Amino acid sequence: MRRALVLSALALASASLLGSCGGAESDDRAGARPGSGGPDASGGNHLQAKVVSLLPSFTEIVVALGCADRLVGCTTYGRPGKKYEEHITRVPWQGTAALEPILKLRPTLVLRQTPRDGADPLHRALERAGIRVVAVPSETIADVFTAIDTIGRELDASARASSLAKSLRASLQQTRDDIADRPLRKVLFVIGRDSGQAANIQSAGRGTFIDELLNHVRAQNVVAHRREAYPRVELEQLVRFAPDVIIDNLPPEKDPMSAWRRIRHVPAIANGDVHFVNDASLLVPGPRIGDAVRRLAEMVHGKR
């Protein structure tokens, strides 16, 4: 029986391009950090950087900054846009298997997520090869802005990064203001279950990016009391948690409601407040966070 897993939802939709990074803003060049106009660790030039992105959200940020023309490699789920797709090589995102494919691309900059345990053989191997590696956290809303700022500086696109961050902050605040008077609603966010059945349900728990998004839109995560980051929810627990809203973020099914309609006495199901989406922006801390939060707020509270 097919399992719908969270990774299957990471096929990202292409973001809109803002133009070539080759035309970086003059204020970026004038205000570039020391050494940005000269050779980097690999002997290249930051204004002519060849970039490998090892995280889909970082690929999206590079594209949102108008620098997709700098990408020479990204991971399977990274989407740089049709214009650049054929020129970009797909590479593994971690481990020793990633080293050789990355080296073949001869990048001057590799963007990757900060490892949780601090042990990072790939990072060290790439630096020994003379490649600049920049590790950035990517687990929270705050991390989105850190990544935008860091990647903007690395690509000499700080003005664009500042503009993007300002726009995202305004969008997040607008959504928060729009729902300020809405009552708190209990939500179950589903990231995995058996196909066609409400069985082996896997949800997003406390401390995850999804949990943070739910808090942002005045939603009470019904599994936030669990210790696991992605706890399983049994049928009896589902009835006891009594969510007002269920968000089923999985690949499309012919009749997705058939998985839930047999379960009675759950407010979300009884009231038809089960939402079926397949939206990677709800899972990935990236530059589409403003749209993701707005859409999430509409599912939780309805449109005004």
What CA–CA distance (Å, rounded) separates 277 from 153?
A: 34
Is there a single domain that holds both residue 163 and residue 35? yes
Residue 279: domain span: 181-301
- Decide which of 146, 175, 204 is a domain's last residue: 175
Give me the number of domains the chain comprises: 2
Strands ordered across the beta sheet of 89-90: 89-90, 71-74, 51-53, 109-113, 132-136
Is there a single domain that holds both residue 112 and residue 139? yes
- Please list the pLDDT of the chain residue by residue as tens digits (304 residues): 444 433 333 333 333 333 467 554 534 443 333 333 333 333 334 557 899 999 999 999 999 999 999 999 998 877 777 777 778 888 987 777 889 999 999 999 999 999 877 667 889 999 999 999 999 999 999 999 999 999 999 999 999 999 999 999 999 999 999 999 999 999 999 999 998 888 999 999 999 999 999 999 999 999 999 999 999 999 999 999 999 999 999 888 888 898 898 888 899 999 999 999 988 888 889 999 999 999 999 999 998 6
Is there a single domain that holds both residue 13 and residue 144? yes
Is there a single domain that holds both residue 226 and residue 113? no
Residue 254's domain is classified under what CATH number? 3.40.50.1980
- Decide which of 151, 175, 199 is a domain's last residue: 175
Strand runs (DSSP E) across the chain, as ranges?
3-4, 51-53, 71-74, 89-90, 109-113, 132-136, 185-194, 201-203, 219-221, 232-233, 245-249, 274-277
Q: Which residue in this structure is represented by tokens 């490649």? A: 131
Backbone angles phi, psi at 198, to 5 degrees: -90, 65
Is there a single domain that holds both residue 130 and residue 277? no
Give Cα separations from 35 to 32, 132, 148, 154, 195 (angstroms).
Answer: 8, 13, 20, 11, 53
Q: What is the pTM of this model?
A: 0.82
